[in-house]
Structure 1
Amino acid sequence: MESHATLLLDIYDSAQHCTSPDFNQYALDKFKNVLQFDSAVIVDFSAAQQQKFIIQSIHLHDAPVEKMLDRPKAIGTESLNRNGALSSRDFVLKKALAERGKSVIANLTEGVSDLHVLDYCRKYETAHSLTFVSARTTAYTAPTIALWRAAKGNAYAEKDAHTANMLLPHILQARRINARLHVSPSSSTDVNAAALATPDGCLHFVEPEVIRLMQLEWKEWTPPLLPRILVDSLRRNNEKMFVGAAICIKATLQENMICMSITEKSNQQMSLSTAEYRAARLAAEGLTYKEIARRLDISPATIRNQLHSAYRKLGVSNKTALRNVLAELD
């Protein structure tokens, strides 16, 4: 028991100093010595009743991201009913959600008749699972940890579940502390939501409002991967800002994390200067640099700079996208 106490102190200490992905990796590496797993995931599922059950944020440990991307194909649509019960082919997660705060162990090589689920487990070498859903779920998220063993003969026992019940709540609590500490506060008073993501666009922390705002801009988008157009725009843009038709995103880089503040745009909001907007409007009509310069009696080099700035601020890369964004702004 003393070793567990030392481990937990170490986890809470690292939560204060590590970036989000580093903390998740460090914590799971530490707990691997105790719970003996081959791969794992820490994930926030949406938990609002009567809606699709989707991944909001995720950290995969020794498992490919394809495992989560392939999940909907194997499991199908999942949703929470009026009473908060999960409708899903994933019988382990269903049980874990019904028994929040208690680890659920399962042998995925026996007693599973669903061929889609069996093929999925074989593909990603998950013969045995231990799943824990936090008892401290919110109205929006269900923080969850799943630990997987690959070998058929290496089943979890009740003693493993007992140990997990004592330790895993602390990983999730320390993770909440870590995420809050590493979301950059903004001086702006109109920030509606904050999110953390890795440079490749994998979300590690989202406030409840993030999904609603992101879907104003990209209606079909669901977590945990940011839209590619957003990731590419933030990479190209030195100001780390994305201005879309419905939202504005201001980002900062902290070591290996993107910290984003997301604001809903008002109908009157205009991010471009008068000169940038004038040049962008003519470009959207199909005019070339030289034609715009001739019409406005400005040098082509100045027009090029104004359009470059307008494209960057609006997060677009071609005239078609520019035309669509300007139509939304008008």
Structure 2
Amino acid sequence: MLRPRVRPETACPGPGKVRQRGACKRENAAMHADYSDLLLCLYRKSHELPVAHFQDEALNLLKPVLPFDSAMWGCATLTPGGIDIHAIHLHRQPVEMLQAYEEVKHLDTAAQAVGMRPSETLAFDAQSWFGGRQQSALRDYGRRFEQSHFFIGGLVNPDTRFTRWLTLFRARADAHCTESERLRLAGLLPHLQQALELNRLTHLKDVVQTRGGDGTGSALADSRGMIHHMDAIFEHALRNEWAGWQGPWLPAAVVVAAQRGEQRVVGRTLAIKQFSQHGLLWLRVRPLCAADALTPREAIVARLTAMGLTHKQIAARLQRAPATVRNQIRSIYDKLGVANVAALVEALRQAD
């Protein structure tokens, strides 16, 4: 395991003592000079690892530098009632934590503090921060999921209130967060977020199988429809299809289709293929083609025909009358304007 060269820790005093706080900053800056191996490894793994594995590996790289027991890393919109989570990755925490948090998130003053101070990384003790009488349920929640001490850092868009954030938890009651550790995370957090974005972008074209030079574009969004990345082709296609669309959210029709589990959206000028993976929505757009006019049943028959099956073989496989399948094949050829199987294969390829 990578072990960055870290100088001995010095417990830094509270923010009221300016000189000592400055000493912590100088110490932290010196430490960053020893993080080159960590950062090189982090960015290398962002290119090498699949999306589903990168965040856990990135957090494992962080632990020798900033020890913690569990974490959650995700994106959300900050609202008056608490954070509205779009996508989240849990590290050594059970999925039950999310449902339990929904019941107490309105008591989470830490999330509110992040919203008010979006550029600041926080470090605090749960018992003292959530010490209000009305926050007893939140304290019980913290004990249940072993969250005694927190580090929280996020990058917030002030216009949309959308944030990408990371929370680290320490379980032991005596494992207090220090000021130098807080500053250390503040310095490393932009690299963690950037490496995560690079990891997703590196694999985006592979995941959605975008082919260059044929008018296809790609995008990555979360389950709520917030776009995390889109290329120029994707953006142009959406603007052409939905007049007045501005972003940064996907058009409602695309979001609704995704929520229904539909993998294809066909519009006037475009077709979008989409699927969910690791809590994110991966999308590919292309211009409309003739094969998009096929019904779902016709599309199945067309693909079986392209595989070389006869109408009788297709009828047996689909448990339909041979005459029905023969008529469907004739209709498919007419719709696509093709006269043989080779031309059918090419027409279907354009709809892949």
Tell me if both proteins adopt one fold, taking TM over 0.5 as the criterion: yes
- Residues 1:72 and 2:102 aligned together: yes
Amino acid at match of 2:111: L
- Residues 1:298 and 2:338 aligned together: no
2:164 to 121, 143, 150: 143
State the distance in 2 between where 1:112 and 1:269 align. Answer: 64
**Distance of aligned partners of 1:32 and 1:138 in 2 relative to their CA distance in 1, 3 Å threshold:** farther
2:107 to 86, 89, 111: 89
Instruction: Please state whether the residue corresponding to 1:121 is helix, strand or coil.
Output: helix
TM-score (norm 2): 0.57
State the distance in 2 between where 1:115 and 1:264 align. Answer: 53
Task: Write the deviation string for residues 209-237 of structure 1: whole angstroms up to 9, x where unpaired.
Answer: 3584554236xxxxxxxx5x73xx8xxxx
- Residues 1:106 and 2:146 aligned together: no
State the distance in 2 between where 1:253 and 1:274 align. Answer: 24
Instruction: Please state whether the residue corresponding to 1:54 is helix, strand or coil.
Output: strand
Contact 1:253 1:259 in 2 (8 A): yes
The Cα shift of 1:127 comes to 1.2
State the distance in 2 between where 1:174 and 1:97 align. Answer: 23
- Residues 1:41 and 2:72 aligned together: yes
Contact 2:82 2:112 in 1 (8 A): no
The Cα shift of 1:15 comes to 1.6
Amino acid at match of 1:32: K
**Distance of aligned partners of 1:194 and 1:297 in 2 relative to their CA distance in 1, 3 Å threshold:** same
Contact 1:43 1:57 in 2 (8 A): yes
Instruction: Please state whether the residue corresponding to 2:169 is helix, strand or coil.
Output: strand
TM-score (norm 1): 0.61
Q: Which has the higher helix share?
A: 2
State the distance in 2 between where 1:258 and 1:143 align. Answer: 14
Q: Choose between structure 1 and 2 for higher RCO, CA contacts under 8 A separated by at least 6 residues.
A: 1
Question: Which structure 1 segments of 5+ residues have no match?
Answer: 76-87, 219-226, 234-241, 281-288, 307-330
**Distance of aligned partners of 1:269 and 1:214 in 2 relative to their CA distance in 1, 3 Å threshold:** farther
Aligned Cα RMSD in Å? Answer: 4.6
- Residues 1:4 and 2:35 aligned together: yes
**Distance of aligned partners of 1:63 and 1:260 in 2 relative to their CA distance in 1, 3 Å threshold:** same
State percent identity of aligned pairs.
Answer: 20
The Cα shift of 1:168 comes to 1.6
State the distance in 2 between where 1:117 and 1:72 align. Answer: 11
- Residues 1:121 and 2:124 aligned together: no
Between structure 1 and structure 2, the one with the greater Rg is: 2
State the distance in 2 between where 1:273 and 1:134 align. Answer: 45
Contact 1:193 1:210 in 2 (8 A): no
State the distance in 1 between where 2:123 and 2:138 align. Answer: 16
Q: Which residue of 2 aligns with 1:237?
A: none
State the distance in 1 between where 2:107 and 2:125 align. Answer: 15
Amino acid at match of 1:298: T
Q: Which residue of 2 aligns with 1:26?
A: 57
- Residues 1:156 and 2:196 aligned together: no
Contact 2:254 2:265 in 1 (8 A): no
- Residues 1:176 and 2:173 aligned together: no
1:61 to 91, 99, 104: 91
Question: Which structure 2 segments of 5+ residues have no match?
Answer: 1-30, 230-247, 302-314, 333-352
The Cα shift of 1:13 comes to 2.1
- Residues 1:216 and 2:256 aligned together: yes
Task: Write the deviation string for residues 140-193 of structure 1: whole angstroms up to 9, x where unpaired.
Answer: 631101000111121212121111111122111211222222111624647574
